[in-house]
């Protein structure tokens, strides 16, 4: 018996095994498609590639377009290829890829962006496909197996695959035999509708409240296709000096909070976002003084494996194993060690405010920029150009015990190595308000904003976080805004509204945000 047949334990479904090309007649222009996948792990690979081949071969670019609803990003080899063939019409809620980003920003792809926990529940409520009464025409799911009852055993991510399976009219299942069966690592709870939703009774990171598979009506399964393609996980570069300085500030802050009695010696459960700074912070924890640590997050990156190996990380809950290809090799080579320390949950649970608040999660995420009053922008460069999406950062930051955002104080422009300041007078787009953030960090220092008024926050952020190249400009802006607004009795959060974006204008015209003055 082949490995594929072994993975499909409901033997009556063996008759639905077919090639990727055989699934093409199931697709029609304009369909609402739900996919599995989360930061690019656990996404369908062979069926989308076969459909793209069909569109390209038959010159159907722009004639077969689909509305895609996925947990987060998927592999760029699928995302960008579909976009380049004009196959993506609508895309929710998060994407990565140069082609799809360009199309989002020129209007070719209609992208929506929402907090991931809310997005997942709204999928179940039918809000995104309300014209057809909710749900999806077709769901594409990568799985690692199917049970005797026809239930779905997912792979290295869950995301919103639970909602897709539950609310798709029909399903195509890719069984990936290049990965081990992930049976037992998942904790599945299906989304319920109000007004009688049950609470998520999670009081420990390692609590389990659901089942190891996603319930599925096997009659919904149109096709089962074998995949042997590994996930195209993103490799992260080694932490640079700036990232390590940021991590050091955060670790010092944790030690101060422990001494003050506001954190236990093993801290509280950690959440860390995606990217090199987040990786550096976790890397700092590997070398740091804290042990018996737990993690409640949405992605587990490569340095989490180092954290486990150090013996300092006891357990991690996530919705995705967002590892590089080398990270997955480490995982599979030491499978029995790692899987007993990890649970994967639907993002409706991993990102839900209820357990985040109950557990007292410490949230750490990277913005595009933040301003002198503590508002942060995670999504739109210059206030208009979409990068990826808000992802789950807002789910955690608004509900965490401690909400921390970290970024370099500057980034290079094309002509100036410190041409872009990441601390601005006023964020041109706000994803996280001053009410949601406790601590802001750059390599320059850490600003603890708890209990501070807006003007106290501004003084602290300028003093602690701004790069020396911009500190005089920021100080001048704040003092002038404070003086002019307070004279008019409008100075609670003073701004010079007709000058506040002068630095962004100067960047567009001169290639740097270093203006001469605020006149």
Distances in whole angstroms, Cα of residue 199 to Cα of each of 159, 203, 347, 464: 20, 11, 15, 41
In the prediction, which pLDDT does 343 show? 98
β partners of residue 152: 146, 214
In the prediction, which pLDDT does 362 show? 98
The number of helices, as runs of H, and strands, as runs of E, in the chain is: 17, 23
| DSSP per-residue string spanning 271-299 | EE-SSHHHHHHHHHHHHSS--SEEEE-S-
- Asked if 143 contacts 154 with a C-beta cutoff of 8 angstroms, the reply is yes
* DSSP class of 78: H
In the prediction, which pLDDT does 232 show? 77
Predicted confidence pLDDT, tens digits, the chain (519 residues)? 799 999 999 999 999 999 999 999 999 999 999 999 998 999 999 999 999 999 999 999 999 999 999 999 999 999 999 999 999 999 999 999 999 999 999 999 999 999 999 999 999 999 999 888 899 999 999 999 999 999 999 999 999 999 999 999 999 999 999 999 999 999 999 999 999 999 999 999 999 999 999 999 999 999 999 999 998 777 767 788 999 999 999 999 999 999 999 999 999 999 998 777 888 888 888 988 999 999 999 999 999 999 999 999 999 999 999 999 899 999 999 999 999 999 999 999 999 999 999 999 999 999 999 999 999 999 999 999 999 999 999 999 999 999 999 999 999 999 999 999 999 999 999 999 999 999 999 999 999 999 999 999 999 999 999 999 999 999 999 999 999 998 889 899 999 999 999 999 999 999 999 999 999
What the chain holds in terms of domains, given with CATH numbers, is 3-227 (3.40.1080.10), 361-387+408-435+451-518 (no CATH)
| DSSP per-residue string spanning 213-260 | SB---GGGEEEEEEE-PPP-PPPPPPP-HHHHHHHHHHHHHHHHHHHT
H helix intervals, 365-501: 393-397, 454-465, 471-487
In the prediction, which pLDDT does 276 show? 79
- The token pair that represents 460 in the structure block: 């602290």
Spatial distance between the Cα atoms of 407 and 365, rounded to a whole number of angstroms? 9
With tokens 């409520």, the residue in question is 125
* DSSP class of 170: E
Directed axis angle between helix 302-309 and helix 276-287, to 10°? 10
Largest CA distance in the chain: 83
Distances in whole angstroms, Cα of residue 2 to Cα of each of 6, 7, 148, 177, 178: 6, 9, 17, 10, 13
Tell which residue, 123, 115, 28, 168, has the closest CA to residue 391.
115
Spatial distance between the Cα atoms of 202 and 356, rounded to a whole number of angstroms? 10
Length of the chain: 519
pTM given for the model:
0.96
Tell which residue, 346, 44, 31, has the closest CA to residue 169.
31
- Asked if 199 contacts 309 with a C-beta cutoff of 8 angstroms, the reply is no
In the prediction, which pLDDT does 515 show? 97
In the prediction, which pLDDT does 221 show? 98
421 φ, ψ (degrees, to nearest 5): -90, 135
Q: Catalytic pick from 298, 369, 443, 493?
A: 298
In the prediction, which pLDDT does 463 show? 98
Spatial distance between the Cα atoms of 232 and 74, rounded to a whole number of angstroms? 9
Spatial distance between the Cα atoms of 314 and 326, rounded to a whole number of angstroms? 22
Spatial distance between the Cα atoms of 269 and 295, rounded to a whole number of angstroms? 5
In the prediction, which pLDDT does 273 show? 84
- Asked if 205 contacts 358 with a C-beta cutoff of 8 angstroms, the reply is no
Spatial distance between the Cα atoms of 156 and 319, rounded to a whole number of angstroms? 8
Spatial distance between the Cα atoms of 397 and 363, rounded to a whole number of angstroms? 6
Q: Is 434 tagged catalytic?
A: no
In the prediction, which pLDDT does 372 show? 98
In the prediction, which pLDDT does 1 show? 74
- Asked if 202 contacts 357 with a C-beta cutoff of 8 angstroms, the reply is no
Spatial distance between the Cα atoms of 53 and 74, rounded to a whole number of angstroms? 18
With tokens 């990965």, the residue in question is 179
């Amino acid at each position: 018996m082949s490995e594929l047949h072994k993975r499909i334990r409901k033997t009556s479904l063996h008759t639905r095994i077919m090639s990727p090309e055989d699934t093409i007649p199931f697709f029609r222009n304009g369909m609402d498609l739900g996919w599995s996948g989360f930061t690019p792990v656990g996404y369908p690979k062979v069926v989308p590639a076969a459909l793209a081949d069909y569109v390209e071969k038959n010159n159907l670019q722009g004639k077969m377009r689909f509305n895609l609803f996925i947990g987060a990003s998927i592999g760029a080899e699928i995302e960008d290829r579909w976009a380049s063939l004009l196959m993506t019409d609508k895309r929710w809620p998060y994407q990565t890829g140069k082609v799809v980003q360009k199309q989002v920003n020129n209007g070719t792809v209609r992208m929506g962006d929402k907090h991931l926990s809310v997005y997942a529940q709204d999928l179940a409520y039918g809000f995104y496909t309300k014209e057809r009464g909710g749900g999806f025409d077709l769901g594409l799911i990568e799985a690692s197996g199917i049970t005797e009852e026809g239930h779905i055993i997912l792979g290295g991510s869950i995301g919103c695959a639970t909602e897709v399976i539950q609310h798709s009219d029909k399903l195509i299942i890719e069984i990936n035999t290049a990965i081990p069966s992930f049976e037992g690592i998942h904790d599945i709870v299906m989304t319920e509708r109000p007004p009688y939703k049950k609470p998520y009774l999670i009081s420990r990171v390692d609590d389990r409240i659901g089942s190891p598979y996603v319930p599925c009506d096997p009659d919904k399964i149109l096709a089962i296709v074998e995949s042997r393609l590994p996930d195209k996980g993103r490799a992260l570069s080694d932490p640079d000096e700036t990232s390590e300085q940021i991590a050091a500030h955060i670790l010092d802050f944790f030690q101060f909070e422990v001494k003050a009695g506001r954190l236990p010696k093993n801290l509280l459960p950690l959440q860390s976002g995606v990217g090199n700074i987040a990786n550096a912070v976790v890397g700092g924890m590997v070398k740091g003084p804290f042990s018996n640590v737990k993690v409640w997050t949405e992605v587990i990156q490569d340095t989490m494996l180092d954290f486990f190996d150090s013996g300092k990380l006891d357990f991690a809950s996530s919705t995705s194993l967002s590892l590089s290809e080398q990270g997955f090799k480490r995982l599979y080579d030491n499978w029995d060690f790692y899987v007993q320390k990890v649970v994967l949950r639907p993002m409706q649970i991993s990102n839900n405010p209820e357990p985040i608040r109950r557990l007292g999660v410490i949230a750490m995420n990277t913005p595009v920029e933040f301003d002198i009053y503590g508002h942060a922008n995670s999504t739109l460069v210059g206030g208009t150009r979409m990068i990826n999406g808000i992802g789950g950062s807002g789910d955690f930051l608004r509900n965490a015990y401690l909400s921390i955002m970290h970024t370099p104080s500057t980034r290079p422009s094309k002509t100036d190595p410190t041409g872009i300041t990441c601390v601005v007078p006023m964020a041109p787009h706000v994803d996280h308000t001053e009410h949601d953030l406790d601590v802001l960090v750059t390599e320059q220092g850490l600003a603890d904003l708890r209990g501070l008024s807006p003007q106290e926050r501004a003084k602290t952020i300028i003093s602690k976080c701004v790069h020396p190249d911009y500190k005089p400009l920021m100080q001048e802006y704040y003092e002038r805004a404070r003086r002019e607004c307070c004279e008019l009795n409008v100075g609670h959060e003073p701004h010079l509204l007709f000058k506040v974006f002068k630095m962004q204008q100067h960047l567009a015209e001169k290639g740097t945000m270093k203006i001469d003055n605020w006149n």
